[in-house]
């Protein structure tokens, strides 16, 4: 009786409206902010909920959760996947642009060493095609606009003479320092305490010479992390670099940022969300949508998962959502304070993705490939997202960090105007003639609360990094933020799903 009263008291203390955990899964679109149709609703406590008993319950129907469910089901385990949204895919979502064509709201690309997401896509019948990369890149800085080829020694980075000395020295140094960081446990690096006591910004300020290079730093971190250099632990950045590879190929900073030979090299036919949709279709009634998980109770020998539409009893539960959302579930008994402190300190990045649709990819006729890097407007980086046959022109860009916070405080009309103004400067006057303008503010989505990844400030990894994927009783953790390789990307989410499935099978 006392336990029941304590449990009820714990529930009433929680802000159940808008704070339940949800599904999401590593870089967005409708005229209104994405997620506007997915407002969390208070659960109906008077309704008799369905009950189900399974071997494994999974919270979240993004790449991580669905990968885990698929693997566990293939091994004969009974599973159920509980998804807060009315769709699957998490931070991968398609948007229609007419005539049967789509653009991606969130996760879009794959590249070398991202072999797990590519293999999964192939297994469900979805192939890739090259991101359009013929022609010149654009660089917009305080010194003006210039064009350059990404086939040069600097790759996607601009070969601006004023930044070349810093670029060559600091990128090489970051790459070398990252080799000291073990991807399975960055907090175990020999110099972890030193690296985790400073920000990327302080490292750049201490080592860079030119103000032009210092201005370029945010243009890189805003699209990659949705954050400013001052928000990022140097240790976390080094881990992220080390993570952008696999067991045979060390990670490099360039692989994160490049299109040619980098993480933006390939796209998926039909977009990324159909990969998750095909997995969910095969799992069938095992996937339950529109049911945020509110509470997880561990008991002797099993765990109870309480959601808005169903209560589940399972031998194990996999929480496959971002740490900041996992921290909003009510756990009984309470999790160890270290795990709770970790989830309080890993916020999602602040990122909005803007997409402009045109009648045709006019920039190609001007010898441009659609990729741009800018320090002068809200959009820091752009890419060509046109259909493979080029029957429409599509450019999307990332607005991140401080730019995103300022951008989203403005009216929709002002935001659209700023983006088109910048695109005109980058691509030419035809950029004003938009057929469609779309944007997604992932930070405003109740079941994401940011994008593309949970970010660590100084001190977080060395204090709490051991808890990112440590099982607690019957609870296991997945999601791209728990991955060793390609942390923050779709590939990392798939890897985490594979890892946690193996972990759960060993525990059953």
> 41 is written with which tokens?
């609703």
| Alpha-carbon distances, residue 189 vs 46, 464, 492 (angstroms) | 52, 14, 21
The predicted pLDDT at position 9 comes to 39
- Give the pLDDT band (50/70/90) at residue 44: low
The predicted pLDDT at position 48 comes to 72
Give the residue-averaged pLDDT of 308-329: 97
For residue 4, is pLDDT > 60?
no
The predicted pLDDT at position 42 comes to 56
pLDDT digits (tens, 9 = 90+) for 182-230: 999 999 999 999 999 999 999 999 999 888 899 999 999 999 999 999 9
> 475 is written with which tokens?
């609870």
Task: Give the least confident one: 44-58, 60-74, 137-151, 480-494.
Answer: 44-58
The predicted pLDDT at position 209 comes to 86
- Give the pLDDT band (50/70/90) at residue 346: very high
CB-based contacts of 168, cutoff 8 Å, min separation 6:
none
Q: Round to whole Å and give the CA distance between 446 and 34.
A: 10
For the CA atoms of the chain, what is the radius of gyration?
A: 22
pTM of the model: 0.90
Task: Give the least confident one: 75-84, 182-191, 252-261.
Answer: 252-261
Q: Cis link prior to 333 (omega < 30° from 0)?
A: yes
Closest-CA residue to 95 (of 35, 46, 33, 28): 28
Ranges of beta strands (E only) in 21-108 are 50-59, 79-82, 94-98, 101-104
Task: Give the least confident one: 8-12, 35-39, 192-196, 324-328.
Answer: 8-12
354-372 burial by CB neighbour count: b if 16+ within 10 A, else e?
A: bbbbbeebbbbeeebbbbb
- Give the pLDDT band (50/70/90) at residue 255: very high
Give the residue-averaged pLDDT of 37-53: 67
Q: Round to whole Å and give the CA distance between 469 and 446.
A: 23
The residue with tokens 């991140």 is: 400
Instruction: Classify residue 248 as exposed, middle or buried by CB count within 10 Å of its CB (0-12, 13-18, 19+).
Output: exposed
Q: What is the largest CA-CA distance in the chain?
A: 74
Q: Round to whole Å and give the CA distance between 424 and 430.
A: 7
CB 108 within 8 A of CB 131: no
For residue 87, is pLDDT > 60?
yes
pLDDT digits (tens, 9 = 90+) for 461-494: 999 999 999 999 999 999 999 999 999 999 999 9
Give the residue-averaged pLDDT of 261-265: 94
Q: Round to whole Å and give the CA distance between 78 and 41.
A: 29
> 459 is written with which tokens?
């001190």
The predicted pLDDT at position 43 comes to 55
CB 343 within 8 A of CB 326: yes
């Amino acid at each position: 009786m006392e336990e029941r009263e304590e449990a009820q008291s714990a529930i009433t203390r929680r802000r159940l409206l808008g704070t339940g955990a949800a599904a999401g899964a590593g870089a967005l679109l409708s005229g209104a902010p994405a997620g506007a149709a997915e407002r969390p609703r208070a659960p109906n406590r008077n309704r008799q909920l369905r009950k189900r008993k399974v071997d494994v319950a999974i919270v979240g129907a993004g790449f991580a959760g669905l990968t885990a469910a698929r693997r566990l089901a293939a091994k004969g385990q009974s599973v159920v996947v509980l998804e807060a949204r009315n769709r699957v895919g998490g931070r991968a979502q398609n948007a229609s642009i007419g005539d049967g064509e789509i653009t991606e709201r969130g996760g879009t690309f794959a590249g070398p060493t991202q072999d797990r997401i590519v293999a999964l896509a192939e297994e469900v019948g979805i192939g890739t095609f090259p991101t359009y990369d013929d022609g010149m890149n654009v660089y917009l800085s305080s010194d003006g606009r210039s064009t350059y080829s990404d086939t040069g020694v600097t790759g996607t980075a601009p070969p601006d003479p004023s930044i070349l000395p810093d670029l060559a020295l600091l990128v090489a140094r970051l790459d070398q320092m990252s080799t000291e960081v073990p991807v399975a446990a960055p907090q175990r690096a020999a110099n972890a305490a030193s690296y985790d006591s400073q920000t990327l910004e302080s490292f750049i300020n201490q080592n860079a010479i030119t103000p032009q290079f210092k201005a370029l730093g945010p243009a890189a971190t805003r699209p990659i992390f949705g954050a400013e250099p001052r928000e990022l632990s140097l240790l976390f950045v080094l881990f992220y670099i080390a993570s952008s590879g696999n067991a045979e190929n060390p990670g490099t900073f360039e692989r994160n940022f490049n299109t040619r030979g980098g993480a933006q090299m390939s796209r998926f036919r039909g977009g990324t969300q159909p990969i998750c949709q095909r997995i969910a279709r095969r799992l069938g009634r095992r996937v339950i949508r529109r049911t945020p998980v509110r509470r997880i109770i561990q008991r002797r020998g099993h765990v109870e998962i309480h959601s808005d539409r169903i209560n589940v009893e399972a031998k194990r539960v996999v929480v496959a959502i971002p740490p900041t959302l996992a921290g909003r579930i009510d756990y009984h008994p309470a999790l160890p304070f270290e795990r709770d402190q970790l989830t309080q300190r890993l916020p999602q990045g602040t990122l909005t993705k803007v997409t402009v649709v045109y009648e045709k990819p006019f920039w190609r006729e001007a010898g441009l490939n659609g990729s741009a890097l800018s320090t002068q407007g809200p959009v820091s980086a752009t890419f060509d997202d046109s259909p493979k046959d080029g029957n429409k022109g599509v450019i999307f860009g990332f607005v991140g960090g401080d730019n995103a916070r300022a951008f989203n405080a403005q009216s929709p009309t002002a935001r659209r105007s700023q983006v088109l103004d910048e695109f005109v400067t980058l691509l030419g006057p035809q950029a004003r003639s938009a057929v469609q303008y779309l944007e997604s503010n992932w930070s405003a989505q109740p079941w994401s609360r940011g994008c593309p990844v949970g970010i660590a400030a100084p001190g977080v990894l060395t204090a709490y990094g051991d808890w990112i994927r440590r099982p607690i009783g019957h609870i296991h953790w997945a999601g791209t933020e728990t991955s060793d390789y390609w942390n923050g990307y779709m590939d990392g989410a798939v890897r985490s799903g594979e890892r946690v499935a193996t972990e759960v099978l060993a525990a059953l």
